[in-house]
Amino acid sequence: MNATNIYDFTVKTARGEDFAFADHKGQVILIVNTATQCGFTPQFDGLEKLYQDYKDKGLLVIGFPCNQFGSQNPEGDEETATECRLNHGVTFPLMAKIDVNGQDEAPIYTWLKSQQGFTSLGSGPKAFMMDKVVKLKVDKNYKENGAIAWNFTKFLINKQGEAVQRFEPTAEPKDIAPAIEAELAK
């Protein structure tokens, strides 16, 4: 598929229904690959806060559960949605579980990675450890080839449906609020 923007994609929700991005033209969208049993799982709380703070201004947060990284989302789609709602208060849409890397990766992630390559895990002990784990368990060349490093990689989509920024798993949701505000203000 030769997608020109996010509006070219329709995906499945956790309930198996079609979710057309074309129905959300003009919104700023934050797409995140999620997992229920990951060290980054507490980011659900921050993502929900972003959603609550900015949804009335045009932000849509969308989670794509993924079990590719350490089998950290073994639950089925409905169970994942229920767990996220009960344990983290998630009200933003969760889609059906997908792969974000490899032979079976979802086309939307092929497109996202082609638009925004790897940025940075940051610095400090958490980033150092994350780099070691990703090189060992995911892809030793992830920085060069744009592979999703781990759960909770975030893509910011502008009002025109373009992927304008990528935030790696170590980026906390609160730290990307300024980028969201900037896109909402345009």
Residue 38 bears catalytic tag: yes
Nearest to 11 by CA among 101, 93, 89, 67: 93
How far is the C-alpha of 174 from the C-alpha of 186, rounded, in Å? Answer: 20
Residues 6+ apart with CB under 8 A from 98: 11, 33, 64, 65, 66, 105, 106, 108, 109
Question: Which residue out of 32, 38, 62, 112 is catalytically annotated?
Answer: 38
In whole angstroms, what is the distance from residue 51 CA to residue 128 CA?
29
Q: Which residues are the active-site residues?
A: 38
